[in-house]
Amino acid sequence: MPGSFGPVDHNVVTIGTATGSLFLTTEGVSCGGTDVGAWNAIGGTGNFEGASGSGSVQTAASGGSGTQADPIRSSSTYNGTLTVHGD
């Protein structure tokens, strides 16, 4: 991310629902417990099969030490456009 400082963070994310799972990749910059970056849809299952789109994502840590016994807890806000392809 131009003009941003901090380690670059890459993730593969699955968002599961009762009607399918959406698969995303994210890339952002981590700084002080907050990640700011971009997401890209790479498909999914069920209602999300063939999904595409992109946008911005912001994730804020809410607790945890990052150990196996106490993993980091966080919440993310996604903005952008998601296209779900119907039959």
Residue 86 is predicted with a pLDDT of 64
- Asked if residues 41 and 49 have their Cβ atoms less than 8 Å apart, the reply is no
Residue 20 is predicted with a pLDDT of 96
Residue 50 is predicted with a pLDDT of 94
Mean pLDDT of the region 30-53: 93
Residue 6 is predicted with a pLDDT of 80
Q: Which residues pair with 12 in a beta bridge?
A: 25
| Total-model pTM | 0.80
Q: Is the pLDDT of residue 80 over 90?
A: yes
Site of tokens 């599961």: 16
Mean pLDDT of the region 58-86: 92
Mean pLDDT of the chain: 90
